[in-house]
Structure 1
Amino acid sequence: MLYWALIFLLVAVVAAVFGFGGIASASAGIAQILFFVFLVLFVIAMVARAVRGRAP
């Protein structure tokens, strides 16, 4: 999912350079949403691992 966030961020930057405001704005918004979803899933995974503890 982080891969897709980076792809949409790259599309947003390229679109912004060429002056396509609508495409850049939409791609940046999608990248931001995907990044925060990835961040939340990462934190949940770390908490779950901490709660389970180490394997014997």
Structure 2
Amino acid sequence: MRRIVLWSWVFLGGAWWGWLVAMVAGGMSMIVVACELRTDVFAASHASTLYVFRGR
């Protein structure tokens, strides 16, 4: 019985840590994706302005 309680406690602790790590990793990946999107939008707008200026 004690073994089951110990294993469930370890499992819950591991799940909690895994959830925390997943939250941190998800936040980091979201920040990275946001930065990539921002640079992509900046590059696209820059390319479009260059294209417009070249067209003229």
- Superposed pair shares fold, TM > 0.5: yes
CA RMSD of aligned residues (A): 1.9
| Cα distance, 1:22 vs structure 2 | 1.1
Q: How does 1:30-41 map onto structure 2 within 5 Å?
A: 30-41=28-39
Higher normalized helix content (fraction of residues): 2
Q: Which runs of 5+ in 2 are unaligned?
A: 1-13
Displaced runs of 4 or more, over 4 A: none
Amino acid at match of 1:33: I
Identity of aligned residues (%): 16
TM-score w.r.t. length of structure 2: 0.60
| Cα distance, 1:37 vs structure 2 | 0.4
| Cα distance, 1:25 vs structure 2 | 0.7
Task: Give 1:9's aligned residue.
Answer: none
TM-score w.r.t. length of structure 1: 0.60
